[in-house]
A and B are shown apart, each in its own frame.
Chain A
């Protein structure tokens, strides 16, 4: 074996001529982290479709309540409990205006078609459902924004300064995390009167914890890296290092976590409204609509159906989108 190696001598090799142009060709197109993430996100079909569905739901939540000119509390018992009917789509059983084979619209002598039907007080469910979606989305949005803000600042300070500050701040988090979310939320709601503000604050009170932890972890990981040292050597202040270097570098994790706090906020709103601690009539939210409809589930299932479908779609799409974003921003975590 060794002898055969002697046959191969240096002069058998020739130097490949690699000019400047050829060396350049090997390098791919330069892609920023954002562009890279975007490209991965767009190629993820599920996540992309979810984004479109969410956009559609948001669109309808904004314009939907104004379609027919009803208010959310316009009552008229003469048109109570009408099943869904869409003119032109009567051939679809779900939108025929029939219930148990009876044309309820004819029976009650109602001419207008109600796309999602009406509830037991004769309120238009199309208007109420989209208005409810709007409320649920607003709660989720406020809770999430505030959660990002508090979580990032708390986690940032705790992780960046470390030492005693970190120790104290982490002990506080540990104690808060020891209390079940549910207990926290219910106690807070009980103290404040149930309503939009109470729900938002209650959801906020528990959801910032995970954000704070994640940001702290990122800070701990990043703060000892060379680029931070370089920046510090150049005389950058703590504030500049945190806001110009550390947070932009952990933005991927922050976005991913945000995407998961939105559905959990939507869920908690619905949950609280469902057990009667949330939005109260005549206001509507997805949870309270499901609660109202649930009372009539056995006779008029369509009253629960549409809010139920919308909230399920929202939660599913936000979760899929969150997964997609996680894969896009951090391919190492791809499962």
Chain B
């Protein structure tokens, strides 16, 4: 286990290094300039600006400079906001996105597990058929379409929830549902498969043969065992939540890193784009890592020594 963790940490560092380098290189290849009103500036002024931001040096020098600063926790200053440090922006906006993500995950996971259990118990009946259909629909419909539908009905038609914003619990409802239903559907689907599988196991038959009531068998044996593998879907789920939150933040005008990222792309704010990309990558890599380790800890039947492709 210890060796496995060390190996995984090694990979994480390499992957992250590749991400940082890739973002740096792609920023160098970007078309357009980061300066406002660049066409109104004289060549001398442009050169002066470039010199000021260190953009006139050869690319390898800029790269080394960037990496050096990076190691020291300095992601550079935002071009659009007067060189205010990128890290400051991220620190300020990250908690909002984190909160949105966690709330959506909790909402989706709890509902998904419940739906999956019910569906698994009533396998093959009408209720199950309805749930399965519902999950396919929710997995398929893109979160932004779902958000638009919710916004139209619950904010424009019946004015229950505010259209946009992020202040107070009422503003959280629609964004959390928009991201959460996708999570819910995936987890429900997975949970159902697990339930069906567990209910066919020998130890369930044994428990029934002992004379345990059906509800005791389901609560004490089936659900507990079926829950274990849920951890594995949470990793890939995080990626979906990040993608989802990016556009949901944009739709509901939530001041998180997603909307910041889109702003940065539109305004060619290089350091901001790089910082956000790296933050996303770091989050993703760390989550996958934690999930893999957790999986080994929770279910000792899984031996990690072989290395599970993540």
Residues 178-204 of chain A, each 1 if its beta carbon lies under 8 Å from chain B, else 0: 111111001110110100000000000
Set B137, B193, B247, B281: member contacting A271, Cβ < 8 A: B247
Chain A CB within 8 A of B23 CB: yes
Task: Enumerate chain A residues within 8 angstroms of B30, measured Cβ to Cβ.
Answer: 190-191
Contact B144 A290 (CB under 8 A): yes
Contact B15 A297 (CB under 8 A): no
Contact B265 A294 (CB under 8 A): no
A285 to chain B, nearest CB (A): 13
B45-53, B73-81, B238-246: which lies at the A interface?
B238-246
Chain A CB within 8 A of B170 CB: no
Interface residues of B in 108-122 (CB under 8 A from A): none
Set B18, B139, B242: member contacting A180, Cβ < 8 A: B242
Contact A187 B22 (CB under 8 A): yes
Task: Enumerate chain B residues within 8 angstroms of A320, measured Cβ to Cβ.
Answer: 136
Chain A CB within 8 A of B203 CB: no
A179-B15 contact in complex given A191-B26, A312-B141, C-beta closer than 8 Å: yes
Chain A CB within 8 A of B192 CB: yes
Contact B151 A297 (CB under 8 A): yes
Task: Enumerate chain A residues within 8 angstroms of B70, measured Cβ to Cβ.
Answer: none
Give the docked Cα–Cα distance between A320 and B144 (Å): 21
Chain A CB within 8 A of B19 CB: yes
Contact B243 A271 (CB under 8 A): yes
A182-B136 contact in complex given A175-B11, A270-B142, A275-B262, C-beta closer than 8 Å: no
A183-B281 contact in complex given A177-B310, A271-B243, A316-B141, C-beta closer than 8 Å: yes
Chain B CB within 8 A of A247 CB: no
Task: Enumerate chain B residues within 8 angstroms of A57, measured Cβ to Cβ.
Answer: none
The size of the chain B interface, using a CB distance under 8 A, is: 49
Interface residues of B in 62-94 (CB under 8 A from A): none
A231 to chain B, nearest CB (A): 28
Give the docked Cα–Cα distance between A181 and B156 (Å): 34
Residues 7-20 of chain B, each 1 if its beta carbon lies under 8 Å from chain A, else 0: 00001101110110
Set B22, B152, B247: member contacting A297, Cβ < 8 A: B152
The size of the chain A interface, using a CB distance under 8 A, is: 42
Most central of B31, B277, B310 by chain A CB within 10 Å: B277
B191 to chain A, nearest CB (A): 11
Chain B CB within 8 A of A111 CB: no
Give the docked Cα–Cα distance between A312 and B243 (Å): 18
Chain B CB within 8 A of A319 CB: yes
Task: Enumerate chain B residues within 8 angstroms of A186, measured Cβ to Cβ.
Answer: 265, 277
Contact B142 A267 (CB under 8 A): yes
Task: Enumerate chain A residues within 8 angstroms of B246, measured Cβ to Cβ.
Answer: 182, 275
Contact A180 B280 (CB under 8 A): yes
Most central of A170, A183, A301, A319 by chain B CB within 10 Å: A183
Set A174, A190, A323: member contacting B265, Cβ < 8 A: A190
Contact A174 B148 (CB under 8 A): no
Contact A315 B281 (CB under 8 A): no
A242 to chain B, nearest CB (A): 22
Interface residues of A in 283-335 (CB under 8 A from B): 290, 294, 297-298, 301, 304, 308, 311-312, 315-316, 318-320, 323, 335
A209 to chain B, nearest CB (A): 10
Task: Enumerate chain A residues within 8 angstroms of B309, measured Cβ to Cβ.
Answer: 170, 174, 213
Task: Enumerate chain A residues within 8 angstroms of B38, measured Cβ to Cβ.
Answer: none
Give the docked Cα–Cα distance between A323 and B242 (Å): 25
Chain A CB within 8 A of B196 CB: yes
**Which chain A residue has the least Cβ–Cβ distance from B143?**
A271
Contact A312 B310 (CB under 8 A): no
Give the docked Cα–Cα distance between A149 and B136 (Å): 28
A17 to chain B, nearest CB (A): 41
**Which chain B residue has the least Cβ–Cβ distance from A178?**
B15
Task: Enumerate chain B residues within 8 angstroms of A277, measured Cβ to Cβ.
Answer: 265
Set A178, A270, A290, A319: member contacting B136, Cβ < 8 A: A319
Most central of B29, B144, B262 by chain A CB within 10 Å: B144
Chain A residues with a Cβ under 8 A of chain B: 46, 170, 174-175, 177-183, 186-188, 190-191, 193, 213, 263, 267, 270-271, 274-277, 290, 294, 297-298, 301, 304, 308, 311-312, 315-316, 318-320, 323, 335
Which 10 A-B pairs rank lowest in CB-CB distance, beginning with the nearest? A178-B15, A315-B140, A316-B140, A180-B284, A187-B26, A335-B193, A191-B29, A312-B141, A182-B243, A319-B140
A-B contact pairs, 14 of them (CB 8 A): A170-B309, A178-B16, A181-B243, A182-B280, A190-B265, A274-B247, A290-B144, A294-B251, A301-B152, A311-B142, A315-B142, A316-B136, A316-B137, A335-B193
